Structure 1
Amino acid sequence: MDDNSLKIGSNEMELVDFRIFKEENGEIYEGIYGINVSKVREIIKVPSLTELPGTPEFIEGIFDLREVVIPVVNLAKWMGIKEPENIHQSSRVIITEFNNVLIGFIVHDAKRIRRISWSNIEPATFISSASGLDGNKITGVTKIEDDNVLLILDLESVVQELGLYEPDTEIQVKSLEHFKGIAMVLDDSATARKIVTDALEKMGFDVIGAVDGEEGLNKLEELYKNYGDNLEEHLKIIISDVEMPKMDGFHFAAKAKEDVRFNQIPIVFNSSISDHFSENRGLDAGGEAYLVKFQAGEFYEQVARVVRAHMK
């Protein structure tokens, strides 16, 4: 992917469009799914795998990719989908990296890269078990051609199910620097919002939450009505996720930095995307720091640094 292909603040993402086929009552159905390109290292043919005894059925095994051992998950099995026979002849493995973890996912076909506006992505509040997934395993849905629906999978939940990643939330409270004022947290994940909110409250902040960039801008407007030009004395920092339906974190930051009422409020990005391109985009969008979810020590250190710098 061309690193300049997505402009800062464009509110667009690029997705790898892949397919999972399901056999039901003798019929084969095609499921259309996506994952953010920023989380994809490469796509390869299914390699020779070494099985791991005692692991869940959906873990097909491990393999060595350039001296890195990578676990491989069969997405269809993880989703509880009955696969058609001989489907693995055309299958591929999507090698992903997020939260600084490498993991492979077997899919039945990898179609193309799509560029989609976050404004056209809706939260997956209506997903039923008929899809083979619950809504908690999908970060968003969007319509594509022929009135088809593409589901954006929450592959981080697989990593957590496997025990390959656990948020590091423990730190000695007595070692924390304490602050007064308001912190705003933007994240579409209730779990992630709670982790960040708890961390900020331990630092002494009063926390205001928002589920996406659009709501974040609305909350900024509400705060401005309350505090006017003194807002900066009260709102000390904004912690924003990157991937959010309706308006992503980069677009939110660009909007906030364009507005003279808000452009002095520091923004720190806190995302599962761990590639350098996204980190650079975050800094170019006006972020003071880009953190990968969630390492408590680094989080506290960077938030304290940013807030102190803006108190001078």
Structure 2
Amino acid sequence: MLKNGTLKTGSNEMELVDFRIFKQSGDNVYEGIYGVNVAKVREIIKMPNLTELPGVPEYIEGIFDLRGVVIPVINLAKWMQIKEPKGGVIKPRVIIAEFSGILIGFIVHEAKRIRRISWADIEAATFASNAGTLDKGKITGVTRIENDEVLLILDLESVVEELGIYSPKMEVEIDQSKLLSGLALVLDDSSTARKLVKDMLEKMGLKVVEAKDGVEGLARMQDLYEMYGDKLSQFLRVILSDIEMPQMDGYRFASTLKNNPRYAGIPIIFNSSISNDYSEAQSKEAGAAAYLTKFDASLFYNEVLRVIEANKK
């Protein structure tokens, strides 16, 4: 993982790599400001020599060997269908990112800096971008920076899905003798991810309450407490939370619950595409009972069962 400053667990902040993509429009060149979570960035390198691949989408520039690992390289401008300018404005770099254990390189026109931003200042994308044909489905969040400019946080994981490099492992055998009862709370800003987790939990016998971020998650917890009072932990068996969410991230959500005696005894499992030891250590500090990398149904099933069974003792 690319290292910069040390974030305090529960601070509700993130660090992201600020990078630029330039767009040629007529005689003018426009600068697009984008970001990706530092926790997903292994390193940033100069343009390597690439081996081209036949029969692949145009935005796949090729592959190269990085210390014994073959890395596919994506041209982000082409993926976003942005016309690239010619000339010296571009200072290309390759961001080596890791999603769910998979390494992939992204060509950007300039890697600017690392920014620290509060999740409270990040809004969900509720618009269609005018950057080429980039739509809101490829943007996970929006935030304002200096000079009232807008930074878009791209959903680079969707590139991995488009390429078919990674697909969730959905095969799992449910032990009918171990069906559960009660409720589960699921937090994720992705409706697709929530549905995936919800379907699995329902197969395990649990009824699911959903929230799209930590703020909404706390509201759902308050609603449940008003229904069940101090017996809430007898009904709410487990909480599954993503980490990266606008308004309030998973760490702040978990830390808030940890410090509230109302919610003592309700285990939290983080379910994230971030796959590194640092994030796993942060999850433990926030009070999580387990950390899962999206998405392996068999591992998910066994860990949820283990955590709920352990919490009975």
TM-score w.r.t. the length of structure 2 is 0.97
Per the TM alignment, residue 85 of structure 1 is displaced from its structure 2 partner at its CA by: 1.1
One-letter code aligned to 2:229: G
The separation in 1 between residues aligned to 2:241 and 2:303, in whole angstroms, is: 14
Q: CA deviation at 1:124?
A: 0.4
Q: Structure 1 residues 86, 2: closer, same or farther in 2, change over 3 A?
A: closer
Corresponding residue for residue 225 of structure 2 = 224
2:173, 2:298 within 8 Å by CA — same for their partners in 1? Answer: no
CA distance, structure 1, for counterparts of residue 227 and residue 234 of structure 2: 12
Equivalent pair of 1:176/1:203 in contact (CA under 8 Å): no
The 3 A distance-change label for structure 1 pair 20 and 61 is: same
Shift of 1:131: 5.1
Contact 1:257 1:264 in 2 (8 A): no
Secondary structure of the equivalent of 2:263?
coil
Residue 204 of structure 1 pairs with residue 205 of structure 2: yes
**Equivalent position of 1:245 in the other structure:** 246
Matches of 1:89 and 1:298, distance apart in 2: 44
Aligned to 1:103: 104
Q: 1:145 to 1:88 in 2, by over 3 A?
A: closer
Name the structure 2 match of 1:32. Answer: 33
Partner of 2:134: 133
1:121, distance to aligned residue in structure 2 (A): 0.1
- Is 1:87–1:108's contact at 8 Å kept on the other side of the alignment? no
The ranges of structure 1 where at least 4 consecutive aligned residues each deviate by more than 6 angstroms after the TM superposition are none
CA RMSD across the alignment: 1.4
Report how far residue 86 of structure 1 moved: 3.5
Structure 2 counterpart SS, 1:261 = helix
CA distance in 2, matches of 1:87, 1:164: 33
Q: 1:106 to 1:299 in 2, by over 3 A?
A: same
The CA distance in 1 between the partners of 2:237 and 2:131, in whole Å, is 45
- The residue aligned with 2:14 is 13
Could you tell me which residue of structure 1 aligns to residue 71 of structure 2?
70
| Counterpart for residue 171 of structure 1 | 172
Shift of 1:126: 1.6
Who is 1:55 aligned against? 56
Matches of 1:248 and 1:131 in 2, distance apart? 30
Q: What's the TM-score once normalised by structure 1's chain length? A: 0.97
1:29-78 Cα shifts (integer Å, max 9, x gaps): 00000000000000001100000100000000000000000000000000
The CA deviation at 1:263 is 2.5
- Report how far residue 93 of structure 1 moved: 0.2
1:159-308 to 2 correspondences below 5 Å: 159-174=160-175, 177-308=178-309
Q: 2: distance between equivalents of 1:294 and 1:278?
A: 16
- Output the CA distance in 2 between the equivalents of 1:175 and 1:56: 44
- Choose 185-194 or 84-93, whichever is displaced more: 84-93
Mapped to 1, the partners of 2:209 and 2:293 lie a distance apart of 21
Quote the offset at 1:176 in angstroms: 7.6
SS in 1 for 2:308: helix
Between the two proteins, the alignment pairs up a number of residues equal to 312
Name the CA shift for 1:24/1:2 in 2 (closer, same or farther; >3 Å): closer
Q: Is the 8 A contact 1:185 1:238 kept in 2?
A: yes
Q: Which amino acid aligns with 1:257?
A: K
- Determine the C-alpha separation between the residues in 2 that align with 1:47 and 1:29: 26
Partner of 1:232: helix, strand, or coil? Answer: helix
Contact 2:98 2:275 in 1 (8 A): yes
Contact 2:233–2:264 (CA under 8 A) maintained in structure 1: no
> Unpaired runs of 5+ in structure 2?
none
